[in-house]
């Protein structure tokens, strides 16, 4: 299946710093979702994007749907210790007649108090 490339693979930051991560695909997507997963739990949906260029916020989190429709970005402002976890992007192809999502490889975030 399709593989989404997520970067960076891991991040170690100081509390209060801003975080940026991105996800790229070789295919055009019509939906991007961003999830956060903590150990032993299922992914929790953070932000959903449906239009190229769309910028959507959820508290300190902001995500953008790239204008090429092959990438997406997630920013976290003023990080706090509870932001720790693995962040996954997921994309749905425009050619997909169902709603199968392809997942990225994840970005592991560690926040140092």
Partner 1 sequence: DAGVTQSPTHLIKTRGQQVTLRCSPKSGHDTVSWYQQALGQGPQFIFQYYEEEERQRGNFPDRFSGHQFPNYSSELNVNALLLGDSALYLCASSRRTGVHEQYFGPGTRLTVT
Binding stretches for partner 1 (CB under 8 A): 1, 4, 31, 33, 35, 40-45, 48, 50, 88, 90, 92, 96, 98-106
Phi, psi dihedral angles at 7 (to 5 degrees): -145, 150
Nearest distance in Å: CB 98, partner 1: 4
- Separation of alpha carbons 69 and 84, rounded Å: 28
Whichever of 77 and 105 has its CB closer to partner 1, that residue is: 105
Q: Closer to partner 1 by CB, 59 or 98: give it.
A: 98
Count the residues in the chain.
113
Rounded to an integer, what distance in angstroms lies between the CA atom of residue 88 and that of residue 44?
A: 10
Please state the closest distance from residue 99 (CB atom) to partner 1, in A: 4
């Amino acid at each position: 299946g399709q593989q989404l490339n997520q970067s960076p693979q891991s991040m170690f930051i100081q509390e209060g710093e801003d975080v940026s991560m991105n996800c790229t695909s070789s295919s055009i997507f019509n939906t991007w979702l961003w999830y956060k997963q903590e150990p032993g739990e299922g992914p929790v949906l953070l932000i959903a994007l449906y239009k190229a260029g769309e910028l959507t916020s959820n508290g300190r989190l902001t995500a953008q749907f790239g204008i090429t429709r092959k990438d997406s970005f997630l920013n976290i402002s003023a990080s706090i210790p509870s932001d720790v976890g693995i962040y996954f992007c997921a994309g749905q192809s425009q050619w997909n007649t169902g709603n199968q999502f392809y997942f990225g490889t994840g970005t592991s975030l560690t926040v140092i108090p």
